Structure 1
Amino acid sequence: MKNFRDSEPVTAVALSPDGRLLFAASRSLQLRCWSLESGRAVRSYKGHAAPIADMALDASSTLLATGSADRTVRVWDVDGGFCTHSFAGHSGVVLRVLFHPKQLMLVTASDDAGIRVWDLVTKSCAAVLKGHFSAVTSLSLSPDGWTLLSGGRDSIVIVWNLRNHTKLATVPVYEAVEGVAYLPPSMAFPGVPNQPGEAGGKAAKSQLVAFATGGEKGVVKLWRSDTGKCVYEQPSSAAAASSAAGGIVELALLASAGGLLTATQDGRLLFNRPAGDNLAVAHQLIGNNDEITDMRFVSLGTGSSTATTRSSEDAGGKPDQQHAARPALPSHLAVATNSDQIRIFDSSTMHCTATMMAAHDKDINAVAVAPNNSGHLASVLRVDFLSAGTQMLSAGADGLIKLWSVRLSGKALLRKLRCTDAKCINTFDAHEDKVWAMALGSPSGSVFASGGGDGAIALWEDCTTGDADEAAALAEHAVLKDQDLANALKDADHAKAVTLAFEMRHPGRLLAVVRQVLERGQHDGSRALESLAAAMRVDDVQPCLEYCREWNANAKNCHAAQAMLQAVLHTRRPEQLLGCGALSMRAKFMEADMPRSNLKFAFVWEKLL
């Protein structure tokens, strides 16, 4: 587990496709690049004049695009760490950035209802796509890069042809869209006929474009652009988990696995896979008690995820720039939450394999990935085999000790060990200088010592079994608490539900309680909230105000946030608020809401003029 610290909440995260680098931006306006191998910051620089809302890397992991609340878009050279492009044109917060998979082209979306296409060669805006009437919250491209899907909170999805920047279809989906995904013709989904060819070609208008949507109703729907009809909607039983969790906030295509991944507002990951004529929830991950804000696939390991470059030709016969070959099935999924953690899930077993304290004290809103290098960064100074030769320890001049899983045949033992013969399964970092010596305390390697040029001796013990037992106990406890909370919500026992939500530090569940209480009506709901606020422990007041601050940043939750804030302020005496630091939290609450308020005032003023 790596521990990285930032003084402010993280607003965007991106993981490079090859798994070498993690990019994180926070409200401190710092953009940091972390090495996943060493756990150290490679570089840190100020990216924008306001927080970054979204980030994305191109297919080659050499360019990073950032969209910010300062209404600008910037492109960065990953290896050099400098800005190569700076674009201005949006009149609102840039919510989404997306690279073209084969061309030097960037697509961005904003809460000003506009979509812009940027040419990275000429460093200019190639087109402005107009058709939405509210914030554009999601973008998706076809594999060939010429068909664009955009979804927004105006409850429509628009299909665009990026060759001539024209609108191919407008499909009303009857809910605020938070995620949209292009469905390739070769993949089998319920109600979607298989059709060869790409929809972005010359005959695009005669071909259907199939896509999936997810939003506030918490249901995955599949659509056809040629008829504008919904061809499949998840039954209520399959979608109960996401609809009860506050709706879908992210949706992504599992291209290699043939399914869809959805993230809910209360922090659940649902793996939806075709099963006959249905789209069933095959797996559900409840790996955290926080709101999921971003997620990226990453291939960790050697060989299968190595990126290569090749040249190709587009439909017009012109060669494209070099780009990375399509990687194999991603082995892991990196998930960012509105806490200070990034969780890594194994995509095959659906288990959380690692938790990173992502250098931030508060929320993480985005993740991104870059090239993988699992070996030592300097000379290897010492090697020892353990576990009957199936594992190996290596110490290097980079101050790191690595544990390798080794699979060698008899002939392989007589030749040079290659990177394909071993897989790094853990890295130990305790020395500030070269690691010169290692001593095994047992043949199995359950205990070993290391000494380095820093004059320090480190004693290591295998805690795998103990950690696994502890994790299992915590998981069981969390499941039981979660079930108690769900029962309390069903029985309308709001006092018990609030107590459990604070014990679990689960803002999503607390939000569900507030919403259920407010359904009684304004008068009765306000009185019930004041009763709940008065019964809260003193230690829960500050977390409650922090949750209100985060809810207020989302238009769907701002009414619940204001109602809960009013209830707390009405039921707590000034000395109680001073004792828990609530007044400083109130100042941060107003500061966080100021940019949104300024945008609303500017919009109203513009309309009045």
Structure 2
Amino acid sequence: MASSQSGPAMRPRLRTSFAKGDSFVPFYSGGAVAVTSDGTHIAATFGAEVHVVETHTSRILHTLAGDGEDINSLTMTKDDAYVVTASRALSLKIYQRPDMTLVRTIAKAHEAPVALMATDPTSSLLATGSADGSVKVWDLAGGFCTHAFRGHGGVISALCWNVQARQSGSSERTVQLLTGCVDGKVRVWDLQGSSQAASKPTAVLSAHAGVVRAIGVAPGGRTIVSGARDQTLVFWDWKDGRWHRRDIVLAQERIEALGFVDAASPLFYTAGSQGLLRLWDVKNGQEVHKTQVLEPEEEDDALHGLTDALYAPTCGAIVTVSATQDMAFYALGDGTLTLERQLVGYNDEIVDVALVGDDTLAVASNNTQLRLYKLDTQDHDVVLVDGHRDMVLSLDTSPDRAWLASGSKDRTARIWARASDARDGWVCLGVCEGHAESVGSVAFARQSPGAGAPFLVTASQDRTVKVWDLTALTSASRQDRLSSLLTLKIHDKDINAIDLAPNNGLLVSGSQDRTARVFRVHYQAPSKANQHKAAASLEPLATCKGHKRGVWSVQFSPAEQAFATASSDQTVRLWSLKDFSCVRVFEGHTGSVLRLRFLPSGAQIASSGNDGLVKVWNVRDEECAATIDAHEDKIWALAVRPETAEAPLQIVSGAADSTITLWNDTTAAVESEKAAAAKEATEREQAFSNLLVLKDYRNAIALAFQLNQPRRLLQLFTQVAASRPDHDAIESMDRLLADALGVQRHTDAELGSITGLAAVDRIIAELPRSQVVQLLGYVRDWNTSARTSATAQLVLHAVVRQWEADTLLEAFDEARRAKKEGFVSMAAMLEALLPYTERHYARVDRMLVESAMLDYTLQAMDGVLGPVADAEEREAVDDVEMAEAPEPEDESEEE
């Protein structure tokens, strides 16, 4: 008895509702970037748009739509007052901060797209360099061109202002523009001279053999530093009225950005193709400090290079922009650089996610880096971990979530852990190297006697699985290469997914050959006492066939002896481990099902596909309990974050649209809201019924308007109309009573009521204007049905008779100005009422004609056949005729 009662109580609660929680959305897709002087906001290009982002939270505050063409360049004035964008449509757009309102558009600023822009220190002038080899200077306040410089040898590749205040003994200040070009030359233009003199450069500095990408002017304006893609820095000093080359320094990388950190400091920074941010002393041309770099054998300029570096003087930080759309903030100390935070502008295609620890999400995207996000905080800081030499494909965590395994296209798998001796907190404990193709799936042992896991299983496109011994690994010890205990070919095509049973006893794999295979895992841990080394073997148990296309994901149930598979045939299947038969088929996705995950209770499965949907299925009845329209592209990554005392259960989805979203379970809240709403509806229904019984029509109508429930109003008006007295009968009765008693029981007002009760008529006449408009909206809807049209016409009659046309027009005008939801103009209201009203009256006319024809036919029949007696009279006549009729003779006696 006790067990039967406890069974339903122990049944896990099904999750049926999910709401969008925190999300990591892309905001930068490459190109120009601008940062405010205090480093709190970033303006970044995103295709044809510009996103203004709050750096502390990575939240997009404003989106500038532009003109539909890709943004080629943008800049921000030094006083942070304006943002200027240039697109492929050749137009310049000037936006005013902080509300980002468009204040001016300059159409066709150049004959070719603008490659880069720069504003002067006074924030009054804007320089634009074009792909047609021309440079123009614009007055930002007036929006007109002040200077045009031509004669460059190609596309403009660098711009820098040299504005110096008036010095003692001089009446003019220095206003110069320095331009770099793809021809390797730096040109100096003087904006203070005559227009004819300004049309030619005052100096042409030739020292580079490559594209000049950056120019900087030292404090005082007497030293120029230029950096180029020929991996050199050139120092120029002003002497004897001309520029002299002082020194050439080999930078060992292609220079992409350069700038001085302070108006009074001799330090300047450079950023280049090796991903290095360096500090230099302009006085001696020596390097002062540089950030960390990858090991030489792991360098990859295309993926780890820096494309830009910007200085925020108020907060003293340098912001670097990488080729992978990452941004890093470095605090500038006493000649040192300290990494403060990192932002990911674009994750590219998310291929896998995994939960590490209690508050960290590991992300594998179309990138060689691992990206680890902090959860449960508004600060979307991310840690970037380098190590793989090619794209990371798969992730998994150890049972205690302390270790992270990653499989990559570089044919290796790596084991990662937090370490206190590393700044980013993550180090590589070991490398699993031995597969001949990409490692597409990794799986830790699900049970572990201690920290970490005893072994790791990896699956590759070479159709083999390997078992790796991890018993020698600890968070403090590291091994360059781990030993493989087993290599076994298990499929005929690529292996897409593997999973280990909760007790480490079974392994399941899914492949492009449309099958899932189950193996028994025999693992022997090393023993120091018996000097046994670790050993492992796989025993084939079954090959599960049923899917019509490749299997993309597999996972064991945490509660039952079963496992689930997801396939490109748009289905999820549940297989029994007792006889390896398919016991459930979940159908509902409109595309390939790419990933599945059991919820912790095992009673439900979450699946995602290339239709952009996440579906939650009930295992017991094969029903879809919830469908989440999660992404705009295929969802490759899925993870389930268990429920805690502080936070609800969460589903984490990552897709090819570069977006990661956390979906919070809101089942309990939704059910509570439904119960409260049902209780409230019942109470209001009872209150409305009580008001009708008490004939308190004024409060009943007010309650119906308050609840916005036209059905209740229709019920009230129908009830009132049904109680309308028969005018002729009452008038005759009143006449008899008046003759007999001399009393008049019904007044003329009661007999002439429009709705049926004079009180209801008065209520309609005294309604507020807003409620009259609302009532006419209800009447419009009621009038569309023949069943409710009589009540609609009755109420419409009451409104039209008691409200002036001008007053109704004013009421509709007030509703329009109030911008009420569902507002319909008077003209639209009449257009909706007239056709149905004419149709109803036409139907009534036809009914009258047909009834008149019936009356005429009956009268004509009476004239021919005579009047027809009543039914009782005809029945009496029939009884008499039957009694007088003779009885029939007995034929047998007659014979």
Q: Give the structure-1-normalised TM-score.
A: 0.48
Q: Which of the two has higher C-alpha Rg?
A: 2
By relative contact order (CA 8 Å, sep 6+), the higher-ranking structure is 1
